[in-house]
Amino acid sequence: MILRLKDIHISFTNAHNETFDLLRGVNLDVEKGKITALIGGNGTGKTTLFNIISGFEKNYKGKIEFEGHEVNFKRMPAYKISMEGIGRLFQDGQLMSGLTLMENMKLASNDTTGEIPFVSLLFPNRYKQAELKKEAQAREILTRIFGENNKYLSLLNQDASAFSYGEQRLLSLARMLMGGDRLLLLDEPTSGVHPQYINTIAQIIREMKEREGLTVLLIEHNMHFVREVADTCAYLDEGVIAEVGPTNVVLGNQKVRNSYLGL
Amino acid sequence: MSVILNIKDLSGGYQEDVDILMGVSMDVQKGEAVGILGLNGSGKSTLGKAIMNMIPIRYGEVFFEGNNVSSLTTSQLSHCGISIMQQGGKVFKTLSVWDNLQLALSKQPKETLDRLKSIIPILQRPKRQLQRLMADKLSGGLKHQLSLAMTLSTNPRLVILDEPSAGLSPIAVQELYEILHDVRETFGITIILIEQNIASAIEFCDRLFLMEQGELKIQLDPNDKEQIDNIFFR
């Protein structure tokens, strides 16, 4: 078990002082080395749950265990959680504009050589080696996703803001593969992405799971993709995990079919 | 049928020296739905923005209902009868649903809201509820409905929809496309649909174009299963 959510509650109050309970006791175990899909209608709280796990939402009740220890996520700023090994792809996943594509890729690496003051001055070689390694890794990832001699390899020095919305989503997913994370939270990795790339993304996620034992929790509305990659599926409905189990069982469940898939 | 939109050799991009569109030409017939498909970064959204004059055009012309509209600004175009619904269902997040609608409808005749009400479910809720509901608290499906209502508020005759189904749950996608069918049938609006959801585009559109590196490369017939399988599901 890499992540365990125990009885997570969250409610919101609007400007008219009306309270709405969004999550009403979510219990979920995310198994290490597995891919878990979190499905559920729009507005059921899937992204809010991701916000809680990645430290953007502190106003919740309940307990979270990460790698067997109870971690107080409420007291940890989001960047610290990310340094613990929980990476996240946002729904409107964008690159950092003002930085080039390569700089964006390098940012995500967990290799911090050269980030400690003076190290890059005292050990210029070591710093240079690390930079070269990151660059090679970035090139390799882009080649794996987009193929040999793809256009992104020639646009590595282009400012990130020059890429289209869909491209930025895709490239920010590529950026997550730079490593360092043990749990990836992917918020709709395939939304707005061309089918050809969706298959490649599915393949890469599966490979990373098998080769590096990576755990993935993903929110997704593309059922074809969910069937393709997810070992486990959890259905969030009315504030609780209403169904959880092997993907084909959950997607075959009558309630899920009626109220979510519309079949 | 008559041609409602005619694009001639449209070229341009976000920066002056880098063209994203490489001479796009196409005709859209009145009342039809035309789908634009293609890889990420092929220039689909850029084409939508270029028609709406939201980016610098370096070369080429756009004719709407026979008139050259290339030099009109985006707001003039929307008064002439072309609207765009941008990616991600854009609404004013800090305003209530009702205020969003009021903004869009401020200069429109009263009947417009009633007309929209008849086909867009979120508008059928009581006014009091819409006044209290903040736009950023809407679920994805409802946000797209609101965004669509705002897009349709100027009574356009041509609408460009940029990935209306992205991020919606399967059931919300179905609902949205049912609404879009109504939009076509009830209002007789011509639609240019930019989509990654190929299944929805095939079902909805009369004609499909495949965009590659800034050019409209292939025209597809949505009923030609073999050709579509070859291109998208190899």
Q: What is the residue-wise DSSP string for chain A?
A: --EEEEEEEEEEE-TTS-EEEEEEEEEEEE-TT-EEEEE--TTSSHHHHHHHHTTS----EEEEEETTEE--GGGS-HHHHHHTTEEEE-TT----TTSBHHHHHHHT-S--TT-STTHHHH-HHHHHHHHHHHHHHHHHHHHHHH-TT-HHHHTTTSBGGGS-HHHHHHHHHHHHTTS--SEEEEE-TTTT--HHHHHHHHHHHHHHHHHH--EEEEE---HHHHHHH-SEEEEEETTEEEEEEEHHHHHH-HHHIIIII--
| pLDDT tops 90 at residue A168 | no
Percent of chain A at pLDDT above 90?
A: 43
Structure confidence at residue A192 (pLDDT): 83
Report the pLDDT value the prediction gives residue A93, as an integer from 0 to 100. Answer: 67
Chain A residue with the nearest C-alpha to that of B199: A195
Which one of A38, A159, A191, A260 would you mutate to disrupt binding with B, by most B Cβ within 10 Å of its Cβ?
Answer: A191
| Chain B CB within 8 Å of residue A166 CB | yes
Q: What is the arithmetic mean of pLDDT over A16-28?
A: 88
Report pLDDT for B224. Answer: 86
- Examine the domain organization and report whether A31 and A138 are in the same domain: no
Whole-number pLDDT of residue B181: 94
Mean pLDDT of chain B: 90
Is residue B102 very low, low, confident or very high in pLDDT (cuts 50, 70, 90)? very high
Q: Which residues contact B71 (CB under 8 A, 6 or more apart)?
A: none
Same domain, A61 and A189: yes
User: What value of ipTM does the predicted structure carry?
Assistant: 0.72
Interface contact A262-B170, CB threshold 8 A: yes
Q: Are residues A87 and A178 in the same domain?
A: yes
- Pairing of the two strands B207-212 and B215-220: antiparallel
**Average pLDDT of the residues of chain A:** 88
Domain membership flag for residue B19 = no
A110 vs A64, higher pLDDT: A64
Q: Do B172 and A170 touch (CB under 8 A)?
A: no
Nearest to B169 by CA among A197, A9, A37, A19: A37
> With an 8 Å Cβ cutoff, are A193 and B196 in contact?
yes
Give chain A positions within 8 Å (CB) of B39: 194, 196-197
Share of chain A above pLDDT 70, in %: 99
The domain total for chain B is 1
The residue range of the domain holding B90 is 32-42+74-232
Residue A51 shares a structural domain with residue A167 = yes
B134 has a chain A CB within 8 A of its CB: yes
Region A163-184 average pLDDT:
85
| A101 vs B: CB within 8 A | no
Same domain, residue pair A152 and A172: no
User: Residue B9 in contact with residue B24, Cβ under 8 Å?
Assistant: yes
Cα→Cα distances A120→A112, A124, A136, Å = 11, 5, 19
Question: What mean pLDDT do residues A37-57 have?
Answer: 91
In a domain, B119, yes or no: yes
Going by pLDDT thresholds of 50, 70 and 90, the confidence category of residue A13 is confident
Inside any domain, residue B25 = no
A188–B41 C-beta distance less than 8 A = no
- The span from the CA of B206 to the CA of B35, in Å, is 8
Is residue A261's pLDDT more than 90?
Answer: no
Query: How many A-B residue pairs are in contact by the CB < 8 A criterion?
Result: 90
User: If you write DSSP's letter for every residue of B99-135 in order, what string do you get?
Assistant: HHHHHHHTTS-THHHHHHHTT-GGGGS-HHHHHHSBG
Mean pLDDT of all residues in A245-252: 94
Does some domain include residue B4? no
- pLDDT tens, residue by residue, B68-77: 999 999 999 9
